[in-house]
Structures are given as structure tokens and as C-alpha cells.
Amino acid sequence: MDLLIILTYTAFCIAIFKIFKLPLNKWTVPTAVLGGIFILAGLLLLMNYNHPYAKYAKDVFVTIPIVPQVTGTVATVDVQPNIEVKKGELLFTLENTKQKIALQQAEAALAEAKNAVLQKDESLVAATSQVQKAQAEYNRAKTENDRVQQGHKSAGANSPFTQQELDNKLSRFKSAEATLATAKSEQRRLKLVTESKILGENTAVAQLQAVRDDAKLNYERTFIRAPVDGIPTQIAIRPGTRASQLPLAPVMSFIPTEKRQIAGVFFQNSLLRLEEGMPAEVVLDAVPGKVFTGTFVSLLPAMAEGQIQAYGSLMPASMIAKHGFVIGIIELDEDLNDYNLPLGVQGQAVVINTENDILHVSVVRRILIRMMAWLKYVYPIK
């Protein structure tokens, strides 16, 4: 862009010398040269500081690595590359015979447990009836035993009850008492089993439901679906490919459908003139002669050139000496998809600082960015 300004000034000087037929001598030529140095130097300083220029700008986008949550062999590939799909649409499937068998086993065990719970409920009803029956037998035996014992005690030597009758009544009473205790114990056991619940469900059934849900989840994970609306691209998997659940081995790249943004690389001396909401203009190598308007939306809060991590090596001095650039994000007013452009196209960008544009230097910046757009018909210069 600086070269364009110099060439433009040179063209103006040549035109003036030709039109007005000025002589080339020791006065006119130095005047033109020195005037150009002062004028262009002041213009460049004001323009580069107040209206930041990104020599390198690019359409940035996010890709989602598709990694299956279970390991298996690819059975089918159900999408075409570079064709947009909706969230939840099937991308590919894994062989799932093992997961299907595990799910059937879990469902069978759950059905058996539910049936067992119903049987235990019936057993509790029967045990309750046994307690009632034993209680009635106990009450009758106790009444007869008390009556005989009381009558024998009251009659004394003239008692009509023999010792054998007394022993029989007492023995029947003790037997009824033991039967009642046994029936109550069985009733308590079945009651504990049937009333053992978690979140309103029998504990044994709840455990098998969890096993069934886990098996069902593993079965469903053999069907890999689109995480969001987007485009699967560069599909290299085929039936028979081994797909691992390790996150270091994705089997497909997926590009989510999002609003496209331009990331520009700016010099650090432009930081005080980069504010959110400022107007911006972008030219792309792929669209010669076109200037895209937009808005500067954000400045990334950190530069990669300054980051350090905890590891066993010392930080080299070369990392400190490496010059860092700030990255700003620009959102365009137009949709680049209307131009059928692939993601990742590159170009240049400028941010216009209208508040500090006292001398209206932004006009020059706008003219230069348009000149660059026209030159891209010939060659995409930087």
C-alpha cells in the first residue's frame, strides 16, 4: 500500500511537469522530491496510526473433529462430502452386533427383574394373609390356654382338667405363637424387599435399568450423527475402516454453519486505535475490484508469541525476541456465501477511525484499498 502512494505521487509529479512544461533543473526536481518526502511521510504516519491496516487478512472458521464414542469398524458412510446436513443427520455407522446383543441381554434381565418384583408383591400379599391366619390361631390358642389354666387354678383339687389337657393347651399355644412369629418375620422380609426403592423404583429394577440405559447408549453411539448444522468435508473413511474412540484419532472433519468472519493481523502500534464498532473495509484476492464493508467486532485478548506453558524446557530468548502481531475480527455486511467462495479466502483489511480523522486521511486510505482491489485483476499484491 505504501508503494501505491509513492507511485501515485510520482504519477502526479510527472503529470504536472508535463502539463505545465516545468523544466527539470536543480530547483524543480529537489522541490518535488523533498515535497514528496514530507507530504508522503506525514500522510503515511497519520494514516497508518489512525487507520490500522492488516496486510494479511483471512476468512477464519472452526472445524469439529468427528470422533466416535465407541471403537468399531465402519459399516456404512451415509453422507456425501461438501453437502450441508442438519443437526442429528446420520454421518456414518459402525458395526454394532456386539452392542445390539448387550442391549437385548440388558432388556431381558430388566424384564425378569420387573417380573420378580411383581411376584414378590404377590408373595407379600400371601405372607400378610398368613400373618392374619397365624394371628387368629394364636388368639384362639391363647384364649383356650388361659381358660383351661384359669379353670384348673380356680378348681384346685377338684379341677376337671387333667395334666395332659393342660400340657396340650399350653403346647398348642406355644406352637401358635411360634407360627405367628415366623409369619411376621417372612412378612417383614418381603416388605423390605418390595419397599426397597430409589426415585420411586425398586432398587434391583433401577440397577438393571441403568445397565439397560448404558447398553442402549453404547448402541446409539454406533450411529454417528451431525453435532450441529454444517458440512462434512474431505471424507476419507470407507466401510471397513477402523474408527477409534481416542480423541487423537478423528475420522472426519465437520465444518459448522456459522457467520463468516475475517481475521486481520495488525501491528501493535495500532492497538490504541482499534475499538469495537469501528467501520472496516476488506478486499479479497478472490473477488478483484470489490470492497467489502463491515464492522470491527473484537480484538483477541492474547498473542501466541507471548504464551508459555509448564514443561521441562527453559524458555528460549528467541521467543522473547520474536515480534508479535495482534489479531482483530471483522464481520462483513455481506454474506460471502453469496459469492460461492470457499472458507479460508484471504485478502487485506483496514479499520477506519472516524473519531480521530481530523484531516480526513481516511479518504486516502479508502482510495488506496480500492486501488488494491483493482490491481487484483492483474496480481493479488500485498
Beta strands per DSSP E along 199-336: 201-202, 223-225, 230-233, 242-243, 252-256, 261-266, 279-284, 291-299, 326-332
Chunked mean pLDDT (size 10), the chain, 382 residues: 70 80 75 72 72 92 92 93 93 92 89 69 66 76 71 64 67 76 73 58 75 91 94 91 86 91 91 89 93 94 87 84 90 90 93 78 84 87 66
* C-alpha closest to that of 259 among 328, 330, 196, 346: 330
pLDDT at position 328, please? Answer: 94
Give residue-wise pLDDT tens across range 77-135: 999 999 999 999 999 999 999 989 999 998 888 887 777 665 666 566 666 777 777 77
* C-alpha closest to that of 76 among 224, 218, 238, 220: 238
d(CA 1, CA 3) in angstroms, rounded, equals: 5
Give residue-wise pLDDT tens across range 129-153: 777 777 777 777 777 777 766 766 6
DSSP state letter for 278: -
Contact 260, 339 (CB under 8 A): no
d(CA 59, CA 69) in angstroms, rounded, equals: 31
- Contacts of residue 41, defined as CB under 8 A and 6 or more positions apart, other chains included, come to none
d(CA 133, CA 129) in angstroms, rounded, equals: 6
pLDDT at position 344, please? Answer: 92
pLDDT at position 86, please? Answer: 95
pLDDT at position 11, please? Answer: 82
pLDDT at position 192, please? Answer: 65
Contact 220, 94 (CB under 8 A): no
d(CA 233, CA 236) in angstroms, rounded, equals: 9
SS3 for 24-42, per residue? CCCCHHHHHHHHHHHHHHH
- Contacts of residue 257, defined as CB under 8 A and 6 or more positions apart, other chains included, come to 84, 228, 229, 230, 231
- Contacts of residue 80, defined as CB under 8 A and 6 or more positions apart, other chains included, come to 235
64-66/279-284 β-pairing: unpaired
pLDDT at position 175, please? Answer: 78
pLDDT at position 256, please? Answer: 94
Contact 264, 284 (CB under 8 A): no
* C-alpha closest to that of 208 among 315, 69, 323, 114: 114
